[in-house]
Structure 1
């Protein structure tokens, strides 16, 4: 009991970014698994998961297709938008009604089918998801959210090999534009992120103690610490808005090109998302190479592009910080509202 009390205080004071006990039996297993042989990560159909941290407490629910969205019919006469992206699009840390796609849907009266997915999900997976699943839903526009702070990493096969990733994840192999798709594991069954039922004692510990969640956090840190130093990425070479190779950029370009090709005559809209540390770096150095490169690429491909980084210039640094969850780093409710207003006012599709 004393340990639980001490940890409860320490986690909140030190802002340790771990999940907290829910004191319910809602979470019988995880929410993100390697389930799909084409793009990897998805949710179990009609599943729910309560994620609780020091700054939010949200219940996630998946539909019959394994995405955090209401049920959507494959065929509809009305116009619709398919939204592709990672955890920011999925809306980690906020309720469904407060996330970007729901806000756009409510203001425009245009359904936005949310195919956002957390859990190691990059632009290569956006393309494969769109090609194999999302394209089947009638729609007349595609909204693609890019998060440079981890999309370059999620797309990079060499980085994932170095960090001993044992997830079932697709990567581009070869040289632009002659890529082939290679999966890190030769079978999805070998992934560490396969569905499993927790033992009863583990359910108790996971849902009712800080100790178990702290131990899981420390085990992850220890696993990373065992990776040889020459295999780790130093902060100075971690890909981001300001640091990426031509090879990494080419992979991102290829995914956007493939989405556009599969979309045909539909509107394709691409926007890039800065995290708070990138906003601070931008204010300090005033450089934005990725914004320039993506604008050039999108113009060549024939898709519209919005860079949200320079859109933050009108805000104070305190207002920028409020765009993100203090204990997690994803958009807060204010961040989703900010993105919605910029996207809605920028893209031609929403003005027609």
Structure 2
């Protein structure tokens, strides 16, 4: 998977930006505020979800612009486009080869994974961020996961409305929604567990070198069997009504990560070790996607040189170089990227 051309119109600080890219490394450099991360965010919008910043759509439109934005990417013979209209700034429009499509359909055409400085806190923050991280990985290897997750969330929102209604709802409404949640929820849990198994198998083959080797596990989230999950959700209906929300299901799962060599939780590791473990997971995932889909995912690495010593930086570049695929990276200066600078598409933003 390679973006050959990326065009931004009225996205963040970019009134108009056109980048001719190529396979391999694409390096964006420039001073703080030049809009390097904005470019990566624009690419991340070509996937299901809210992008790498999880920002509201109206915020992404350029302040001095007409109120909407567009992001266009050419991938071989495939054209992907996302954007908003000034008349509906909070609605994401998606077009694939000039035809209107859903956001979840983007996962069928393009696999993306990103790392940002904010994700350095992934292991010390709440479980929701780790679930989103795990689901982004799962979208890339199993495109149907995006559609299944959207259907589960829709059914759960409807059930939560029933739970908080002033008048008791017809039990048959609960039964129908809970059946849908159980079917979709079990599929979500199974997809996550399958991915964790694939990643663990690859990580076990890696020696404890520059990248701290992580051990992965999924905690909670309910059963991967639809009938068992349905029984658990129905049994929890009284408690859920008291809480005003659904307390059982894959939306409550957590990704657990441990430093293999030190046998400690990732949250107790150093910042450099945490970043190294994140990189190890992403690189193992890229290998898994390549095997599953026959095409390597595009990696978006924002300020990837931060918190990495020279040894880890060189090891990262060497591994990325040996695996192939397209990798977009940002940095204020080109010097930290010297090992790959001679073969990278280098875009300097003012």
Question: Does TM, normalized by the shorter one, top 0.5?
Answer: no
Q: TM-score, normalised by structure 1?
A: 0.31
Normalized per residue, the structure richer in strand is 2
Max Rg structure: 2
Larger relative contact order (Cα-Cα within 8 Å, sequence gap ≥ 6): 2
